[in-house]
Amino acid sequence: MIKFSDKNLSPIYEKIRENSRLDFEDGLKLFRSNDLIGLGSLASLVREKLHNKKVYYVFNQHVNYSNICLNLCKFCAFGKPPGDPEAYALNIEEIVKKLKENPSPIQEIHIVGGLHPTLPYDFYLELLKTLKREFPQAQLKAFTCVEIDHLAKISSKGIEEVLKDLKEAGLSCLPGGGAEVFSERIRKKLCPNKITGKRWLEIARTAHKLGIPTNATMLYGHIETYEERLEHLIALRKLQDETGGFLCFIPLPFLPQKSYLKKEVAPTTGFEDLKMMAVARLMLDNIPHLKAYWIFLGIKLAQVALHFGANDLHGTVYEEKISDFSGGETKKALSRKEIERIIREAGFEPVERDALYNPLS
């Protein structure tokens, strides 16, 4: 029995016990509740049913191949216009060299970049082929749905053909970025040049149908409403009912410090981050994994988030540029020993996984 200080949570508890799906109105009650412990208890019930005491992580490294970007979204401090003093683009040799600096064999290479105006289509295929050759044990989690759309444009191919080419070159799955908030209102204000939410979902659907699993994110804590967050979550849940192709959902707290929005938007609070995590676990009843992305949340809050529905701590990570450019202050690498300690001290059991959530022995 859970004792709630917010009585609105009791009927939701009954629904969860009966395995009934929560609707939009339930979601609003959850977001409007300040009974954080109640929310965490509900999310933990669901989390336990799905994963028991297991918390996953992967030995991984990020590659942000270029920050030059055509979209220049208002929330993003990573993307730079061509010619900007901070703009960079790594060539394949430099990327391989960086990855080889990591002393241990990498299980997952997480590859994300800006929409570069002149890099040719072949660069992306060659990059995957080379990494697969140089790091045969690694799985390549590469290119968000937004980059896939860009590759379709520069190659004059359809998204299905692009995804097939990438798969043949060594792609395992897609990271979840670029989803932001699907609302047209938000996209018009914050990222008018970015693909629509509808297009993002169409690309994810196509990937799933080709047997390429993907992740999904939501960028929260800027100008969006609770209603818009819920519409986003419910759109993901609907697509998951259709395809089953989402592996993991990652709520990304907006880091305003270096963005155009720094004067208008304050960073999220720990309270809101934990509430967001719990609501995501409760609404997304069909997406198996929920990630506490410690690079954005900070290590301490990510650990606490394990008691608010999260069952995945992402990975060890070795260099990550989006947070660097955005003013994130969390250090950029954890050892296996450190990540396992964080998990164990929170009362869970660490499971090292591959990019597709298969446990490694």
Footprint on this chain of ligand V47 (rule: CB under 6 A): 75-78, 112, 144, 175-178, 180, 215, 217, 219, 250, 252, 254-255, 259, 293, 296, 314, 322, 326
**Shortest reach from residue 141's CB to ligand V47, in Å:** 7
**Shortest reach from residue 200's CB to ligand V47, in Å:** 10
Q: Which is nearer to ligand V47, 41 or 78 (CB)?
A: 78
> In the beta sheet, which residues pair with residue 66?
89
Q: Which is nearer to ligand V47, 162 or 219 (CB)?
A: 219
On the 0-12 / 13-18 / 19+ scale of CB atoms within 10 A, 203 is: buried
For residue 298, give both structure tokens: 């900070």
Q: Which is nearer to ligand V47, 12 or 69 (CB)?
A: 69
**Shortest reach from residue 104's CB to ligand V47, in Å:** 20
d(CA 98, CA 279): 38
**Shortest reach from residue 47's CB to ligand V47, in Å:** 18
**Shortest reach from residue 179's CB to ligand V47, in Å:** 7
Check residue 6 and give left, alpha or beta (phi > 0: left; psi -120 to 50: alpha).
beta
Q: Which is nearer to ligand V47, 175 or 245 (CB)?
A: 175
Sign of CA dihedral 149, 151, 155, 161: negative
d(CA 219, CA 182): 10
> In the beta sheet, which residues pair with residue 315?
58
Q: Which is nearer to ligand V47, 131 or 317 (CB)?
A: 317
**Shortest reach from residue 6's CB to ligand V47, in Å:** 29
The CA dihedral of 264, 268, 271, 272, to the nearest 10 degrees, is 80
**Shortest reach from residue 11's CB to ligand V47, in Å:** 33
What kind and span of H or E run contains 14? Answer: helix 9-17
Question: Which three-class secondary structure state does DSSP give residue 56?
Answer: strand
Rounded to 5, what percent of the chain is helix, strand, coil? 45, 15, 40
Q: Which is nearer to ligand V47, 42 or 218 (CB)?
A: 218
For residue 265, give both structure tokens: 């938007």
Contact assessment for residue 207 and residue 214, using Cβ atoms and an 8 Å cutoff: yes
Backbone angles phi, psi at 205, to 5 degrees: -60, -45
Q: Which is nearer to ligand V47, 123 or 220 (CB)?
A: 220
Residue closest to ligand V47 (Cβ): 177
**Shortest reach from residue 264's CB to ligand V47, in Å:** 13
Q: Which is nearer to ligand V47, 294 or 348 (CB)?
A: 294
Contact assessment for residue 313 and residue 339, using Cβ atoms and an 8 Å cutoff: yes
d(CA 188, CA 224): 12
d(CA 334, CA 257): 24
Question: Comparing C-alpha atoms, which of 215, 200, 132 is closest to residue 170?
Answer: 132
d(CA 270, CA 280): 15
**Shortest reach from residue 37's CB to ligand V47, in Å:** 27
Q: Which is nearer to ligand V47, 170 or 175 (CB)?
A: 175
> How many alpha carbons lie under 13 Å from residue 207 in its C-beta half-sphere?
34
Q: Which is nearer to ligand V47, 9 or 163 (CB)?
A: 163
**Shortest reach from residue 259's CB to ligand V47, in Å:** 5
